[in-house]
Amino acid sequence: MKKLRLAITGLTACSGCQLTLLNCEAELPQLLEKFEFHYFPLACSPAVLKGRYDAALVEGCLSMPHERQLLLALRSQSQLLIAVGSCAVWGGVAALKNGTDRELLRRQVYGQSRTAVGTFSPQPLQSLVTVDAVINGCPPEKKELIGLMSGLLLGSLPVPNDQPVCSDCRMKENLCLLTERAQLCLGPLTLGGCEARCPSQGVPCEGCRGPVPEANLGEALELFLQKEYGRAIVIERLRRFYPEWKS
């Protein structure tokens, strides 16, 4: 069987999503038998984008002109383009200050240096190109990335998840941190699939996987209000990973 040819790269991001794949140590030997990691700057050198790819896995959001050019090239040279991680899918942490003047932010960070001239407000990949599938998370779970790779071999893409983190909590029979401990847990509004990794350790969900489709924000806010969390603080927390939550 011919190996599938992959391009894997990151834009404006921390590289955590790519590192999650590289941390799949037990599975990497099998993956190398099935895939040709032709363009993977974080792991392989030299990294030269050339030819056609069966799939491109892209981490991070768009915030610089050269990233636009790279993403357009990946889209045109790849049969499938997959957004990996919350920054690629939603804008993520990098987009936290999208409502603030960009030039002011540049001066605050870089001073009088010309570094970062030409940057623009961080945007998800879908703002520029068609995205064929997404893998949520900050970072995604290892099993989700391995599932994606297995699906590519079979000619299929991940089935979108529409269940909240609360569903994962119930499956694990966790104590509800919101209703029973009055902690600001965003599980009711956040996409599941992480097996409630944080709540299972007693840590409230921070919303890193993005919003549940058709989330009932109004009803959830009523529940948060009962626990003495006002609308403003809830929306602020939600916007950490998905800046488009409306106030």
Mean pLDDT of 111-136: 88
Considering only CA atoms, which of 179, 100, 176, 186 is closest in space to residue 138? Answer: 186
Which pLDDT belongs to residue 1?
73
| Type of residue at 16 | G
Q: Residues near 195 by Cβ (< 8 Å), separated by ≥ 6? A: 141, 168, 171, 172
The whole-angstrom separation of Cα 85 and Cα 240 is 14
Query: What average pLDDT does the chain have?
Result: 93
Task: Answer yes or no: is pLDDT of 112 > 90.
Answer: no
Is the domain of 182 the same as that of 88?
A: no
Instruction: Please indicate whether residue 178 or residue 118 has the higher confidence score (pLDDT).
Output: 178
* pLDDT per residue as tens digits for the range 30-72: 999 999 999 999 998 888 999 999 999 999 999 999 999 999 9
Q: Distances in Å between the alpha carbon of 97 and those of 152, 175, 194, 222, 223?
A: 35, 34, 27, 27, 28
Mean pLDDT of 210-224: 90
Among 108, 124, 154, residue at a domain's last position: 154
Is the domain of 128 the same as that of 35?
A: yes
Number of other residues whose CB lies within 10 A of the CB of residue 146 = 16
Which pLDDT belongs to residue 246?
75
With tokens 């916007």, the residue in question is: 239
Estimate to the nearest angstrom the gap between the alpha carbon of 78 and the chain centroid: 20
The whole-angstrom separation of Cα 222 and Cα 188 is 12
The whole-angstrom separation of Cα 155 and Cα 150 is 9
What does the angle CA 187 – CA 192 – CA 195 come to, to the nearest 5 degrees? 100
Mean pLDDT of 118-130: 93
Is the domain of 110 the same as that of 209?
A: no
Which pLDDT belongs to residue 108?
85
Judge whether 11 and 62 are in contact, CB under 8 Å. yes
The whole-angstrom separation of Cα 8 and Cα 74 is 10
Which tokens go with 97? 């200050």
- In a domain, residue 247? The reply is no
Is the domain of 15 the same as that of 96?
A: yes
The whole-angstrom separation of Cα 122 and Cα 16 is 17
Which pLDDT belongs to residue 114?
67
Place 104 in a pLDDT band, splitting at 50, 70 and 90. Answer: confident
Q: Which domain holds residue 195?
A: 165-238
Is the domain of 104 the same as that of 179?
A: no
- In a domain, residue 244? The reply is no
* pLDDT per residue as tens digits for the range 6-20: 999 999 999 999 999
Mean pLDDT of 178-207: 96
Place 247 in a pLDDT band, splitting at 50, 70 and 90. Answer: low
Mean pLDDT of 115-125: 83
Q: Residues near 201 by Cβ (< 8 Å), separated by ≥ 6? A: none
Mean pLDDT of 186-193: 96
Among 99, 133, 154, residue at a domain's last position: 154
Is the domain of 128 the same as that of 193?
A: no
